Structure 1
Amino acid sequence: MSRLPDIDPVFGDAASADAIELVVVPRSVDIGGFAVKRALPTIKRRMVGPFIFLDQMGPGEFPAGEGLDVRPHPHIGLATVTYLFDGEIIHRDSTGVEQAIQPGDVNWMTAGRGIAHSERSSQEFRRRANDRRIGGLQTWVALPKDQEEVAPVFHHHGRAQLPVITGDGVDLRLIVGSAYGETSPVKTFSDTIYADVLLQPGGRLPIDADHEERALYIFEGEIEIAGDVFEAGRLLVLRPGDRISLTARAPTRLMLVGGAPMDGPRHIWWNFVSSSKERIEQAKNDWKSGRFDKVFGDESEFIPLPEGP
């Protein structure tokens, strides 16, 4: 466990006042019978570093006997990163992996040239008398062009493996990348930062400019940056090159995401990401024709290819 350094800028100076480049208000969508808020991609911002997709799941509680049911579906050209605050999800994929993810763990699934997976609640979760709550984030990380066709692979990291950094009313768990003198064991394909930050009221978090692109997703609570107040359910894209500090005005949970810009634009259609439109068309035909491998232990169902362009 490490402590945060003291790198606060001066509140009210030009760098602090212009720290926010864009504020994104997520739109609500339905995934597997569960309401989520989608912050990326958006018209004004397609990616932050390698992050091309960011969904907030919940927090919400399922009725007795019910749970999350995201049927088998495909991916190419990306890595999915699942991180929970509450609940449990059973991941199964076409490489033969079955893995439960608990709060604070990390599921990193590299799709590469193609993978299929499902995300469901266990029967034990559905039978609980109470505490059928799920909350967390599902993000996608685009792969560099020379890694888009790598072999699919899955890695799980338990919460005890991730560095924890504390100080000044802050507890930060470093999910991916390097920050504040610590490095996560999660292997990435490009410069990436991803951190889970809990702040007490009055807690202050300094954010340096080590990573070119950075954003803050406020899951719950309220923060202040240079006199401006931002509430939960907002993605704040920070201006490159500015070192800032934020202060929590209430008990707050937020995610720090970002990294190096991608090596060119990416096309995204349904669950497919690629630098090539032709490669996405091939993936569409492969899924429609049943050429993806089946999901281990979940072979009987699948999500059909959506109709339309």
Structure 2
Amino acid sequence: MIEQKLRPRRMRITENIRAMVRETSLSVKDFVYPIFVVPGENVKEEIPSMPGCYHLSVDRAVELAREISCLGIPSVEVFGLPEYKDEIGSSAWDMNSPVQRAIKAIKAKVPELAIVGDVCLCQYTNHGHCGQLCGHYVDNDATLKLLQKVAVSQAEAGADIIAPSDMMDGRVAAIREALDEKGFANVSIMSYAVKYASGYYGPFRDAADSAPQFGDRRAYQMDPANSREAMKEVALDIAEGADIIMVKPALAYLDVVRQVRDSIHHPVAVYNVSGEYAMVKAAAANGWIDEKRIVLETLTSMKRAGADIIITYHAIDAAKWLKG
């Protein structure tokens, strides 16, 4: 009898063979590109800690949305800096604020794009926390009423998906109720169900001017050491009506992404956050890594872990690289 030699390398010999047996594919259709809108006109200012990302006035955001759509990216998520801040973040539901104006303008000019509205209060409050305060404590139930206003205002502006990122208990149910009561039953909810109190958010807080004025957010965002708790949060948000479940950050939590994917049948999103992006950009600028190779490998790892949707600041570059 002839002894068989096991040679997995046979399936790696040529690019065509590798492509035939490749288990995970990355597509431009997987991406959501985050944009940051600000007051003013003809504003395009690079965010220092996030090279290649910009603060954009509404008119320039529409220009970028057209470019994004032409690249085949199906969706944008809109964040914004308001013209004013107060104790409860009331500019977050002001229809004249940059976010609502940008959503409306993009929907009018680039209707094929799916628009995600981020629902949180941190960039709108003068204290930088994600809800209404009672002393130094974020009042969960009082905040829910404010989040309902934000969600409805974004739906009225034209958002297709509402994405609450505040981590208040019960916010998915509250937002679903408010949307349905106002006639927005077809607006879906992408819940930041598993959002960790992470050090990877630093550059975003510069971009959104949302750093807390005191303390931190560990009293409402999740402890990075916990994964069983993540599954509890996922189950609660699904029960409350979430249509899409998100894990944030992505790269340091791929084990959690896999656990979520294996336990639910809902679409799973990940947020490839600002710190992950900034580290790659800094290393590439110093010539330490091959940026294209690292980015595509990283994004593929998120798909391999189980993500259906990837929110990433690399989306524009990755779309160009994938098109070759």
- Name the one with the larger helix percent: 2
TM-score w.r.t. length of structure 1: 0.31
Bigger Rg, which one:
2
- Name the one with the larger strand percent: 1
TM-score w.r.t. length of structure 2: 0.30
